[in-house]
Amino acid sequence: MDSGLSSDVIVVGGGVIGLTTAVVLAERGSRVRVWTRDPVERTTSAVAGALWWPYRIEPVTQAREWALRSLSVYAELAAYPELTGVRMVEGVLGEADLDGADAWAAARVPGLRASTAEEYAGTGLWARLPLIDMSTHLPWLRERFLKAGGTIETRTVSGFAEAGAPVVVNCTGLGARELVPDASVRPVRGQLVVVENPGIDTWLTSTDADGEMAYFFPQPGRLLLGGTAVEGGWSLEPDPAVAEAIVRRCAALRPEIAGARVLGHRVGLRPVRDAVRLEREPLPDGRVLVHNYGHGGAGITVAWGCAEEAAGLAAPSGT
CA distance to 128, 131, 292, per residue, from 90 (Å)? 4, 9, 30
* 157 assigned ligand-binding residue: yes
* 215 assigned ligand-binding residue: yes
* 116 assigned ligand-binding residue: no
* 298 assigned ligand-binding residue: yes
Q: Name the residue among 32, 71, 87, 39 with its Cα closest to residue 304.
A: 71
Task: Decide if 81 contacts 75 (C-beta within 8 A).
Answer: no
Question: How far apart are the two ends of the chain, measured CA to CA in Å?
Answer: 18
Cα(51)–Cα(235) distance, rounded to whole angstroms?
Answer: 23
* 15 assigned ligand-binding residue: no
Q: Name the residue among 190, 179, 178, 239 with its Cα closest to residue 46.
A: 190
* 150 assigned ligand-binding residue: no
Task: Decide if 42 contacts 256 (C-beta within 8 A).
Answer: no
Cα(206)–Cα(226) distance, rounded to whole angstroms?
Answer: 10
Burial of 198 (0-12, 13-18, 19+ CB in 10 A): middle
Cα(49)–Cα(114) distance, rounded to whole angstroms?
Answer: 23
Please give the full DSSP string across 53-100, using - where no structure is assigned.
S--S-SSHHHHHHHHHHHHHHHHHHTTSHHHH-EEEEEEEEET--TTT
* 301 assigned ligand-binding residue: yes
* 10 assigned ligand-binding residue: no
Report phi then psi at 77, rounded to 5.
-65, -25
Cα(271)–Cα(121) distance, rounded to whole angstroms?
Answer: 32
* 270 assigned ligand-binding residue: yes
Cα(78)–Cα(124) distance, rounded to whole angstroms?
Answer: 24
* 132 assigned ligand-binding residue: no
Residue stretches of the annotated binding site: 44-45, 157, 172, 215, 270, 296-301
Residue stretches of the annotated binding site for FAD: 44-45, 157, 172, 296-301
Residue stretches of the annotated binding site for D-dopa: 215, 270, 297
